[in-house]
A and B are shown apart, each in its own frame.
Chain A
Amino acid sequence: MDVKFAKPKSFYEIYERKPGANKEGIHYCPGCGHGIIHKMIAEAVQDLEIQDRTVVISPVGCSVFAYYYFDTGNIQSAHGRAPAVGTGVKRTHPDSIVISYQGDGDLAAIGTAEIVHAANRGEQMTVIFVNNAIYGMTGGQMAPTTLEGQRTTTTPYGRKKENEGQPVRVAELIDALEAPVYVERTTLSDVKGRTRTRKAIRKALKYQSENRGFSLVEVLSSCPTGWGVTPVDANQWIREKMEAVFPVGLLRDRAADIEARPLEPRPFVRENLHQLLEIPEPGTGDAQAAAAQGAGEMQHVDERYRNPRIKVAGFGGQGILFLGLGIASTGMELGYQVSWLPSYGPEMRGGTANCSVRVSSDLIGSPIVAETDILVAFNKPSLAKFEPDVRAGGVVFYDSSLIDASPQRDDIEAVSVPATQLADELGNTKAANMVMFGAIAEKTGLFSLEEVRQHLGGYIKKKKLIPLNERAIERGATYVREGA
C-alpha cells in the first residue's frame, strides 16, 4: 500500500467524537479551507514530534469541532477567547504547545482584545487565523474582514465603509506590536500559496517548540457555501478580490534575533510556605495565646475608655491609617478582638484619610465606627466632620500644631497635643502619629507604654525606625502627663 498519503498520526484514525454514521469524513463543506489547514497542522505536529504536548483550542465558528479530528489535548473555548484560554494553558504548562485556531469573527470581532494582548505579551503560542471574509457557521453574516461591497446576510446591499467600516487587516495589526516573533499572511487559492501556508504553519509551530514567542499565520481561505459560489470560483475570488485587500507575504520573522531558550523550571513550592507568605509558622503564638487568656474584660482600663470605638482622621500622608493599624495590632498582640477599616477608593484621593478601629474584649460586630468613643483628629476638616459623632463623655485628641480651633462641644473631653511640632523637635515630622499614640496610651490606659513599645515590631517593617518611634511614643506620653 502506498503510505505516501497516509493520514497524519496527529489526526484520529476514526473520528469517534463526530456524531452521525460517517466517522471518517469531516464535517466541513466541499471546497472549504478548514480541512486543508487542519491537515497542515496535523502534519506539522507529527513531524515536529510534539503531539503529546500539543493542546488545540477550538474556537466558536465552523472549526468549533476541530477537536473531532486532532489527536492532541483539546479545549473548546468561548467566542473570541481562545488566546486567553491558551494563555491559561500555557502559563500552567509552559512545556505544552498551544495552538489557538480562530476564524475572522472570533479573532477579529468579538475577540479583538484577547488576540491583541496575547500578541503584545509575546505569549508563547501559535495562532492560526482563518480569514474567509464571512461568518460561516451562523449562516453567512458579515465578518470584520468582509470586503467592501461584499454581500452577506447582514450586508444585503453590500458592505459600505460609511456604515460598517473597512475590512480589518489582522496580520498588519499584529505586526504593529513589538513582541510577536513571526507574522505571515498566506493563501489557499493556488498550489504555490498552499505550499507557502504549509511552511508557515510548520515554522510557527517550530518557533513555539523552541520558545521563541508568539506567532500568527493568517490564511486566506474559501467559504463556497457562505459566498454562494463553486469551489473553483471561490479560489478565483480569493486571488482577485481578497488578495488585493489582504496582501499575501511575510510581515515579520524575528526568529534570528531571538535565541531558542530552554524553559525555566517553575517548581511547586511548598517548603517554608508560611515563611514565604509572611504568616506565623506552625508552633508559634504561645505568647499571644497567653495574652488572650489574661486579656479578660479590660477591667484595668478606666470605664470611659473600655472597648473603645476609635476614629483616626486627617490628611493622606500623615500616617493616619498606620496609627490605626498600630492601635489594632497592639490590641491583637494583647489578646483582644480588634478590627481596622479604612476609608478606601476615591475617598482617599481628595487628600483626607480616616479609619475606624475597634479594640474589644468581645466579638466585634460592625467594624465601622459611627458613634465614637475616641476621636483622633490631625486636621481641621476632620475635627469638624467627626466631632458630632463623638458620644457624650467621649474624648477627642487633636493635633494642636495644625488645628487652630478646639472642639466646640462641652460634653466631651478634649486633649490637645501639638503632635506635629513635637515630632519635628524629634527630627521627623512623620512621627507625629506615634507621638499621638503615646498620648492616647497615657491618657486612656488602654495599653501601657511598655506594651506599645514591645509590639512596635509587629507592624513596623523597617526595624531601624523603631528607636525613633519609641522616642515619639515617649514624647507624646510625657506631654499628656506633664502638659509640656
Chain B
Amino acid sequence: MARVILKGNDAVVRGAILAGCRVYFGYPITPASEIAETAAYYMPLVGGVFLQAESEVAAINMVYGAAGAGARAMTASSGPGISLKMEGVSYIAGAELPCVIVSIGRGGPGLGNIAPEQGDYHQVVWGGGHGNYRNIVLAPNSVQEMADHGILAFALADRYRNPVFILTDGAIGQMMEPVEFPETVVTPPEKEWAVGVGAARRPNLISSILLDPDELEAHVAKLEEKYTRIVEQEVRAEAYELEDAELVVVAFGIVSRVARSAIEVLRKEGCKVGMLRPITLWPFPEPQLRELAAQERVQRFLTIEMSNGQMVRDVRLAVEGRKPVEFYGRTGGNIPTEVELIEQIRCQTEA
C-alpha cells in the first residue's frame, strides 16, 4: 500500500480509528496537542466523539466512563498532563477497563520545557498512580510505529482489560515520516461486562472499591495473575547486530535511532557492538537481557536514555549483576548526536 507522510501525533490517531476507536477526550498541551486536533478533525467524520475536556483529570475520567460503557476510548498528553491523569489511570487499572493513553514526553521536572525527553519513564512504566497495578507500555521509535501501536494498543487493552500507554517523546510526536496503514478495519468486540443500554447490561458494575481486606487482596492477586500472563506473552523487543556483540546498547524511542546510526558506523570500524531496543517497556524485555547477560562474549551493557537514568534500573534488574551496566544520558530535552554516541559507545568499549 502507498505511504503517506504524517506527523507521529497524527498517525497514532488515524491508526486508532482504524482500530475501532471512536471516542477521544483530551486537553491541549505541547508537544501532544496535534493528537487532540487530529481526533477533533476525524472523529466527527467517522461517527465518533471528540470532546475537549476542562482538565486532564476530567479527560481521563471521561475515558473511564466511556471505557466502562464499552467504547474503545483514548486520550493523550505530555509530562505535567500525564501526572494529572494518574489518579484516573489507577481507577481504570483497578476497575480493569481497557483504554489507550498516549504520552508524548517533554523536558521536566515541573514546567520544564517542551523539547523531547524520556524522563516520564518512571511515572508511566512503574505506575505513577496509587496502588498495586501495572500499565502495558509501548515505546514507538518511528511514525510508522505510532500508527502501528495506535492499532496494537487497543488490541492489548481489550485482550487484558488494562490501560495501555504509548510512551514516546516530542520528536516522534512532531516529526513527519512516511507511514503505511493496514487494510484492516476493526469493529471493536462487544463487551458483555460494560454498562450501557438494555436489560443484559443492567447487572453490570464498574468499580474499584473493595472494602474487605481479603476481597481486595484477592482482587490484587487476580490482577497479578493477569500481569504474569502479560509478562509471559507480550514482551516485544528489537535486536540489532546482537549475534556477536560484546557490548550491548539498550535504548528506546528516538534515541534508539541515533544509537543505531552510531552502531552502524562503529561496526564498520570493527567494534562488536549491538543494540536491544525494548518495544514494550512493560512488560520489560527481561528474558532477552538475561540471556544476553549469560553469554560469555557479552562484556557489558550501556543504557542510553534522554533522562537522568530511569530505564537503566530495569536493565540492571534484568542483568542481575552478571555484567556491568553503564549509563549515558542527556536531559533538558537534548537529543544526543550520532557523533556524541559514537564517542560514548567507543569509550565504554575501551574502558
Contacts and interface: CB of A to CB of B under 8 A. Distances in A.
Task: For chain B, give the interface size range.
Answer: 35 or more
Given A84-B65, A346-B114, A365-B261, 18 more contacts: A55-B195, A72-B202, A73-B195, A74-B204, A75-B65, A77-B64, A81-B88, A84-B61, A89-B196, A91-B66, A95-B197, A116-B54, A269-B47, A277-B46, A280-B4, A338-B178, A341-B171, A368-B337
Task: Indicate the size class of the contact surface on chain A.
Answer: 35 or more
Contacts, number: 249
A81 B48 CA distance: 23
Contacts of B197: 52-53, 93, 95-96
B18 A76 contact: no
Interface string B202-242: 10111111011000000000000000000000000000000
Contact of A93 (B18, B22, B69, B174): B69
Given A75-B195, A77-B64, A280 B3 contact: yes
List 3 A-B pairs, minimum CB-CB distance, nearest first. Answer: A88-B65, A365-B261, A285-B2
B173 to A, nearest CB: 9
Contacts of A468: none
A88 B47 contact: no
Nearest to B114: A345
A279 B45 CA distance: 14
Contacts of A277: 14, 17-18, 42, 46, 181
Interface of B: 1-5, 14, 17-18, 22-23, 25, 30-31, 42, 45-49, 51, 53-55, 57-59, 61-71, 73, 87-88, 91, 95, 114, 170-171, 174-181, 183, 185, 187, 195-199, 201-202, 204-209, 211-212, 254, 257-262, 264, 335, 337-339
A364 interface: yes
B337 A366 contact: yes
A270 interface: yes
Nearest to B45: A276
B23 A81 contact: no
Interface string A255-289: 00000000000111110011011111111110110
Contact of A88 (B73, B181, B204): B73
B57 A81 contact: yes
Interface of A: 17, 19, 51-53, 55, 58, 64, 67, 71-78, 81, 84-93, 95-96, 113-114, 116-117, 266-270, 273-274, 276-285, 287-288, 325, 328-329, 332, 337-342, 344-346, 363-368, 370-371, 458-459
B28 to A, nearest CB: 12
Contact of A339 (B4, B61, B65, B176): B176
B61 A114 contact: yes
Nearest to B70: A92
29 contacts: A17-B205, A75-B68, A75-B195, A75-B205, A76-B209, A81-B57, A84-B53, A84-B57, A86-B65, A88-B25, A88-B66, A89-B66, A91-B23, A96-B197, A269-B48, A274-B181, A276-B42, A279-B4, A325-B176, A338-B177, A339-B177, A340-B5, A340-B177, A341-B176, A365-B257, A365-B261, A366-B257, A366-B337, A368-B171
A273 B46 contact: yes
